[in-house]
Amino acid sequence: MISSDNENVKVFACGDSKEMLIYLMNDAPDNIFQPLEVSLNISAEMEQGTYRIEWIDIRTGETFSSKKLKDLSKEVKSPEFLDGLFCHIKKI
């Protein structure tokens, strides 16, 4: 399970012990989207090891941030986004 520290951000995710796809949707009640960052709490069981996390623009499909993590922390911070953001986490 994955949750966000912002109640207006809906989290949709699927994956297994080595890979996860996440969609963050800013569901601002007034439909006025201000730039925001969120912390994701990852309680899904992921294998120990090195992971690559990629943040993908929902409009262009381009990866605008990518980094390697020695261990996948239970808390992951997103980059700034407006209305939506994709995330791909994969064991490497």
Assess whether pLDDT exceeds 90 at residue 19: yes
Has residue 75 got a pLDDT over 90? no
Domains along the sequence of the chain with CATH: 2-91 (2.60.40.1180)
Mean pLDDT score across all residues of the chain: 91
Estimate to the nearest angstrom the gap between the alpha carbon of 10 and the chain centroid.
11
Burial of 26 per CB tally in 10 Å (0-12, 13-18, 19+): buried
58 near 35, Cβ under 8 Å?
A: no
Enter the DSSP assignment of 82. S
What element of type H or E holds 11? Answer: strand 9-15
Tokens of 23: 């969609």
Q: What is the mean pLDDT of residues 63-76?
A: 86
State pLDDT tens for residues 23-59: 999 988 888 888 999 999 987 788 889 999 999 999 8
Q: What percent of the chain has pLDDT over 90?
A: 64
